[in-house]
Structure 1
Amino acid sequence: MARRHGWSGNTPASDEEAISRILDAADEIVGERGSAMRIADVARSLGVTRQTVYRYFPGTEALLLATAMRSGDGFLEQLASHVGGETGAVTAVVEGLAFAIENLSKDDRITFMLSTRGEMAPSLTADTALSFSRSMLHRYDVDWDANGFDEDALSELAEFLLRILYSFLVDSNQAPRSGPNLRTFLARWVGPAVVYPKFAEAMKAVDNAAAPRRSARRSAS
């Protein structure tokens, strides 16, 4: 539940609403001033203290990243629509990650932050960024339970995908992977991570099935 402090007398009903209102305010300020936005500016526009904003975003870089991800271009909506209807876990994850790599690399704000702000890396996997990544995975038409993912495993997958995304965005390779080449590369190396929970479950079942026979042979001897 959002803390009941400030908010110009209109306290958010939940943390999700608080994050949304912070991002709305940040979007407006970025539209006016660009990346010169400060946490203090956002706090002032919302009628809260800077500490309230810091509770959700550890720094300006994290807030700028969040506004870029939820920008007027509707990137998160575009991503959800792009993978909509795909029920295969590997295909959905690979295509979603490829789409993010290809599109965010063209976002001027993302490019600016990665090229000029040294604190960007830790902010990428801050709680709010991880929250965005998890929420996107939940919006995929994939039965994560059937694929062996509980919430903890899904959170780890969200972090793993964010770290891969960051590595692609920060790399200044003159010949970046794209199109089928990018998707083949991601399927080969990210795909096994997506199928790992089911693979591990299958291997455990094999071990459990073999254990009684090994025990029986030892007893017979």
Structure 2
Amino acid sequence: MARHGWGGRPPASDAEARQRIVDATARCIDRHGVAKTTLSDVAAELGVTRQTVYRHFDRIGDIVGEVAAQGAEAFVDRLIAHLQGTTDPAEAVVEGLVFCVRTIPTEPHLSLLLQVGDSGAFARGATTADAIAYGAAMLERFPVDWAAAGITGDDLGGLAEIIMRLLTSLLQRPGEPPDEARLRALLGRWLAPALAPSRAPAGRA
């Protein structure tokens, strides 16, 4: 790679270049917000041309998605640690949703995951296949025996979709977070009963 740009320290590989672009984008988002962060801003942050960035990412939305995905990995680890010892499916889902509603608005990079539009990590929101698959993979890490609860296969994906829809709705007004006690009561009344082992739907063939 040419030695101009990149602050005089060109990346040693394409993988390093991509990571430095992601890191630069995160800094731009922290300064300007996602709506005002452009590919030109990222290029300027790195001291390279727009064409250099385009060699690694097709559009700014793809970079923003990677920023969000990397932030989410650490967040999911924290969520799973928070849920340790909560083996009841209903309790785990309710507690997980409350934790997400409490935490995501305070961490801008995580909020990118659930944004709707071209700048969102899942582009078309919480009902895309990518978002649902991500949610199902997260549920599989819960300290819950889903099979024993009768939730397997497509049912786990359906649960993930409902959770992603609920979470997106609850986070649409980050300045007005729901009261946690009221949220727990609401989820406990209307969501938890569907996850009781005796009433959980059988897995589809």
How high is the TM-score relative to the length of structure 2?
Answer: 0.65
Give the match for residue 154 of structure 1. 156
State whether residues 59 and 123 of structure 1, in contact with CA within 8 Å, keep that contact through their aligned partners in structure 2.
no
Give the match for residue 69 of structure 2. 66
C-alpha change, 1:63 and 1:127, in structure 2 (3 Å) is farther
Structure 2 counterpart of 1:28, from 23, 29, 32: 23
Higher gyration radius (CA)? 1
Give the match for residue 102 of structure 1. 102
Is the partner of 1:154 in helix, strand or coil?
helix
Deviation at 1:196, TM superposition (A): 8.0
State whether residues 114 and 170 of structure 1, in contact with CA within 8 Å, keep that contact through their aligned partners in structure 2.
no
Residues 41-56 of structure 1: matches in 2 within 5 Å?
48=56, 50=58
C-alpha change, 1:135 and 1:110, in structure 2 (3 Å) is closer
Query: Identity over the aligned pairs, expressed in percent?
Result: 26
The amino acid of 1:156's aligned partner reads G
Q: Is 1:184 the equivalent of 2:179?
A: no
Deviation per residue, 1:101-160 (Å, 9 max, x gap): 111122234567878x64547233333332321121111111111111112110111111
> Which structure has the highest helix share of the two?
1
C-alpha change, 1:151 and 1:112, in structure 2 (3 Å) is closer
Matched residues in 1 for 2:17 and 2:85: separation?
Answer: 31
Give the match for residue 48 of structure 2. none
The amino acid of 1:82's aligned partner reads H
Deviation at 1:81, TM superposition (A): 0.5
Residues 187-198 of structure 1: matches in 2 within 5 Å?
187-195=188-196, 198=199
The amino acid of 2:69's aligned partner reads A
How high is the TM-score relative to the length of structure 1?
Answer: 0.61
Structure 1: which 5+ residue stretches go unaligned?
1-7, 11-20, 202-221
State whether residues 62 and 126 of structure 1, in contact with CA within 8 Å, keep that contact through their aligned partners in structure 2.
no
Matched residues in 1 for 2:98 and 2:38: separation?
Answer: 30
Deviation at 1:78, TM superposition (A): 1.0
